[in-house]
Structure 1
Amino acid sequence: MVRVAREKASDLIIRSVKEKVASGELAPGARLPNERDFAAQYRVSQPTAREAVRGLEVLGLVTSRHGSGVFVASDVHTLVANNLGLLLQLKQMEILDVFDVRVVLGRESVRLAAGNRDVADLARIRQALDALDAATTDHEYALAGIDFLGSLSAASGNPLLATLEVFLLRISAQFQLAAYGGRAPGWWTDADLDLQGARRRLYETLRDGPVGRVEEVWWEYTSAVRERFATDPRLTGIRLADSAVANAMASQNV
């Protein structure tokens, strides 16, 4: 006779909270009951309730704020990063591994965006372009670059695409900042001005058409970026599991 292991009480609570978040019963940023009330709600001891909360924190589903309580994660991108980031570290991913997946997603994003973008989408993309022009620090430039490509993905109308792509964009930026000790390669140089010109052409093509030209401009831009990554020994010599990249990920600064 096969014995089926009973699910731990703390695991049952974790599954319940996950279902409530997925259904919208617990909204992003919602505060969980205090430990005593949380234990009473699930009819378990306080140590069991505490164990469940710790498990939810490990999953990135909730965050504890000292003196305030425990809250459902408000940033879906952080939630994705906490779960996928560990997987990518374990797989010893390099920047080109991350980049190539992002390009596949990005191609679909711009294809959909060409047919779905509206005035608000174009305004967000233009705002990110202007922020790239106005950036005065590497960190500002990284955030504006993520915002530009993330806005393109959001214009696709597919929230899953946008979430996954922003996660990969953040990983890519963290690679660059880690490899260069806080400064990414090519930023503030003539080469990057060329990339900024390519970004602007991508925006203008998305805005004005023709629709079929958008993917071509996208490939021109991403091919130039990939060439830069592939020929940079600092970037090709670093892995996601390396401490500098792991620290950048943990800091959530980008």
Structure 2
Amino acid sequence: MMQPTDPSDRIVRRKLSDQVFDRLRDMIASGELPPGAPLPSERDLMERFGTGRPAVREALQHLHTMGLITISHGERSRVNALSADSVLSRVDDVARMLLSSEPDQLDHLKQARRMFECGLVRMAAQTATEDDVAELRDLIAAQRDCLGDAARFVTQDMAFHARIAAISGNPILVATSQSMLRWLFQYHGVLLHWSGNEQVTLREHEAITDLIAAHDPDGAVAAMQAHLDRSVGLYAHQNAQG
């Protein structure tokens, strides 16, 4: 008598829509359907895969949800061009839910950002060009012009940190930095603006930029650490502010 089989040995019947999804995803990954290309019509897909319209539509919706295609009513669906930023932006809603449902995760995010930003500023101090430094100084000047306007001040703050990440020339690092900033500032309602401390923020940004310009990695890291550590106690959830 045969012994009971291991659950992993069982053959699972997969939904037709999942199989259609896999085929379309493979066509996108292989380049058969390159970025910008229109997908075949629903009828063509039904004939090609031998399935009904519901399976095709469910597969297309799944691809759309993942950001692989764009569905436009009255037009053919098209393949999206993928980038590190477009991929990471897809988890924004999940990050917002995580931070809202588990407040302790905010501390973890701030710790991760501190480590990440210190690594980025070290790279910037090692490789920054005169143009990079000039752009950082322009961003500080633009942030100074935003004094009195909290929303614009925060936007320029994000732009300054994003520009430091951009010096790396690594699109994955840039996209990750921008995602962390979005999660902190937008989705969790965190503000880097607090009454009476804007000038301190500007001076710290200037000090960081000076150290990048001097190609002093250790000094730049220490300045960034002090900047972020000072900010930690001043983060506030928008909802708590009324």
TM-score by length of 2: 0.74
Q: Does 1:104 pair with 2:111?
A: no
Amino acid at match of 1:150: A
Q: Which residue number corresponds to residue 176 of structure 2? A: 164
Contact 1:112 1:157 in 2 (8 A): no
Q: Distance in 2 between matches of 1:223 and 1:185?
A: 13
Contact 2:20 2:55 in 1 (8 A): no
Amino acid at match of 2:97: Q
Which one of 186, 199, 202 corresponds to residue 205 of structure 2?
Answer: 199
Deviations 1:65-120 (A, max 9, x none): 44444342666434313236415624734333322211111111112222233345
Which one of 58, 62, 86 corresponds to residue 51 of structure 1?
Answer: 58
Q: Does 1:5 pair with 2:12?
A: yes
Unaligned runs of 5+ in 1: 239-254
Contact 1:59 1:83 in 2 (8 A): no
In the TM superposition, 1:20-169 aligns within 5 A as 31-39=38-46, 44-71=51-78, 72=80, 76-83=84-91, 85-86=93-94, 89-90=97-98, 92-94=101-103, 95-135=106-146, 137-169=149-181
Q: Distance in 1 between matches of 2:51 and 2:109?
A: 43
Q: Distance in 2 between matches of 1:124 and 1:22?
A: 37
Amino acid at match of 2:117: G
Displacement of 1:137 in angstroms is: 4.5
Displacement of 1:216 in angstroms is: 0.9
TM-score by length of 1: 0.71
In the TM superposition, 1:168-183 aligns within 5 A as 168-175=180-187, 178=189
Contact 2:139 2:159 in 1 (8 A): yes
Displacement of 1:210 in angstroms is: 2.2
Displacement of 1:193 in angstroms is: 1.9
Over the matched positions of the two proteins, sequence identity in percent amounts to: 22
Q: Distance in 1 between matches of 2:139 and 2:67?
A: 28
Larger Rg: 2
* Matched length: 229
Deviates more, 1:8-17 or 1:103-112: 8-17
Q: Does 1:186 pair with 2:198?
A: no
